[in-house]
A and B are shown apart, each in its own frame.
Chain A
Amino acid sequence: MRAPVFWAIAIAVGAVFILLTRSFITNEYFYFAGYVVLEYIVLSTAWNILGGYTGYTNFGTGAFFASGAYSSAVLHKLPTLVHNVFGWTIPGVPLPVMILVGGLVAGAMGLGTGYLTLRLRGVFFAIATLAFTIVVQTLIVNWDYVGGSRGIYIIRPAMSPITGSYIQYLFTLMTILVVISVGIARSIENSRLGMGFASIRDDELAAEASGVPTLKLKLIATTLSGALMGMAGAPLPYYVTYLDPTSSFNLSYAVNSVAMPVIGGMTSWIGPVIGAILLGTIQQLATVTISSALNLLIVGVLLILFVIIAPNGIVGLVNSWRRREA
């Protein structure tokens, strides 16, 4: 399927999904829970661009995600700051703009991190990204303007810019981000860029010897991946209404964004989507029925099971069944 056709289908599926949920589901909790699952689809798809396509395991999801969230917090306070400093009254920044800015900030961070860390490989790169999260978290903890370690309250606007409640608005925006991130991932996968990423994942020396500009491609991957993670994080302050470093840099973001593509399958765009829907839904159900403390346990158990039984994830499992059938 050609990329424009896929984009058209993805947009249509997204639009139908929004219309159906808006038409038939009135329970607000569905939107709260669904938002998290959608958020994880974006995060795991973004992670997979660097981790799955290019083969660089990133444990710094929390840093990129939180940078998006905190850039929104800064923009949220911007009118007050401008008023206090210059005496001017400016309107509040719309959330879609915050999402774009979050993407730019996290994308720039991805580019910078890439320059500093992409000469490292394997476990050393993974450790560097984990350390990067700690560095960014420490900076935020010591930045008083965004609340430092005590966090910051964000008052959600009383009215949604579109029909329905504000959580429905957030749910709609996250659905759009899902369409965008999945569309980008699918377009990359079947392109010259995607083949370049795959060659780096398979053998970086051979890729370089085949004319692939590996550093440039890896920087594209870190920038894109970081930007999408930042975009996923940008609406967070309006979802949680209280943003603090402990929750926004939570290790569960890093663990989930690794586990979901691993469980779904890392070499295809659909893998992270399947993994995020499966794991995200199970986690939400466990939160409601048993305890939210079980979430990481579920992830851990499933991850171990899949690494042993289906190292190529659900997509790999299905593909091998198909091959056997043929």
Chain B
Amino acid sequence: MAETLLEVKGLSKRFGGFVALDGIDLSIDKGERLGLIGPNGSGKSTLVNCLTGTLQNETGTVMFEGKPLNGLIAHERTRMGLARSFQLPKPFHSMNLIDNIRIPLLYTVNARHGHHLTDTAIAERCEALLRDVNLADKARRRPRDLTQVEMRKLELARAVATQPTLLFADEAMAGLSHSEVEEILAVLFRLNEEGLTIVLIEHIMSAVMSFSTRLVVLVAGHKIADGPPQEAIRNPEVERAYLGE
């Protein structure tokens, strides 16, 4: 039986009178490739924000590797092994690519108990991470010199630099061409093969269907489907949410 990595029970989040998430239950197993879909405004990003600590949920519990996450702020969760990429890439504009990767190595890996990477080790790891996403030749460039797909790759590399056990890839393929989507998918598949559990939040259905081993569908803050992708998308509620009555 697969080991549970993340366990969410009854998670709710409101923005004033608007209920963004309502009693979400979710369990993610180690090594899983989970697709999280839903129409715009369904609460996908809010869920990611609540799980990674950018937002605090009002009700519900979140357990990660058996430890409670409630009350922990974002950087503490990152240090525990939860990483995320952002829907709109958020690179550190004033730094070159190496330094963009160096930040999580300095503040996450070196902050963990028993870890202390030397300057040389950090430099080597930065180069390796950039090489893994084919950005090694632009290591000394600034993010403004990158294309959209390269920016997405940098975003993923920076998240992976935290040495996470669970990665939330929030619309990592938005606005990319078909071949660029394939490039990002290849990166995600490789990371998963290396043991990283990945939650893919995405609108590009072909990518979600080819990547995910399980699909969770959110609509208006409620989870309406959770299961194998082919089954989930045939769920009448999911069809109604996407195609209407």
Contact = CB atoms under 8 A, between A and B. Distances in A.
B78 A213 contact: no
A28 interface: no
B106 interface: yes
Contacts of A199: 92, 95, 103
A326 interface: no
A213 B77 CA distance: 11
A230 to B, nearest CB: 29
The dominant DSSP class at the A interface is helix
Interface stretch (A103-111, A159-167, A203-211): A203-211
Interface in B36-67: 52-54
B22 interface: no
B92 A205 contact: no
Contact of A202 (B52, B73, B84, B93): B93
A2 to B, nearest CB: 12
A210 B162 contact: yes
Interface string A177-215: 000000000000000100110110111011111111111
B215 to A, nearest CB: 25
Bin the interface of chain B by size: 20 to 34
A202 B154 CA distance: 15
A209 B94 contact: no
A267 B94 contact: yes
Given A210-B78, A212-B75, A213-B75, A201 B106 contact: no
B52 A209 contact: yes
Given A199-B92, A202-B93, A205-B54, A212 B107 contact: yes
Contacts, number: 78
Interface in A199-244: 199, 201-203, 205-215
Given A208-B73, A208-B75, A212-B75, A203 B90 contact: yes
Interface in B107-146: 107-108, 111
Most buried by A among B83, B84, B107: B107
Contacts of B90: 203, 205-206
Contact of B104 (A198, A201, A202, A210): A210
B152 interface: no
A199 B94 CA distance: 8
Nearest to A212: B107
A210 B52 contact: no
Contacts of A206: 86, 90-92, 158
Given A202-B94, A202-B95, A209 B78 contact: yes
Contacts of A209: 52, 54, 74-75, 78, 83-84, 86, 159
A192 B54 contact: no
Interface residues of A, number: 20
B103 A195 contact: yes
A213 B107 contact: yes
Contacts of A205: 54, 74, 86, 90
B94 A210 contact: no
Nearest to B84: A209
A210 B103 contact: yes
A210 B107 contact: yes
A208 B106 CA distance: 13
Nearest to B86: A206
B237 interface: no
Contacts of B86: 205-206, 209
Contact of B74 (A195, A198, A208): A208
B103 A207 contact: yes
A213 B54 CA distance: 13
Contacts of B92: 198-199, 202-203, 206-207
B110 to A, nearest CB: 8
Nearest to A192: B106
Contacts of A212: 75, 103, 107
Contacts of A214: 75
A211 B95 contact: no
Contacts of A196: 103, 106-107
B94 A211 contact: no
A210 B126 CA distance: 14
Interface in B196-232: none
Contacts of B107: 192, 196, 210-213
Interface in A299-314: none
B153 interface: no
Given A196-B103, A205-B86, A211 B162 contact: yes
Nearest to B107: A211
B94 A198 contact: yes
A199 B162 CA distance: 15
Most buried by A among B73, B103, B104, B111: B103
Interface in A247-268: 267
Pairs of residues from A and B, 9 with the lowest C-beta to C-beta distance, nearest first: A211-B108, A206-B90, A211-B107, A202-B92, A208-B74, A210-B104, A203-B90, A211-B78, A212-B107
17 contacts: A192-B107, A195-B99, A195-B103, A196-B107, A198-B92, A202-B93, A206-B90, A207-B92, A208-B73, A209-B83, A209-B86, A210-B104, A210-B108, A211-B107, A211-B108, A212-B103, A213-B75
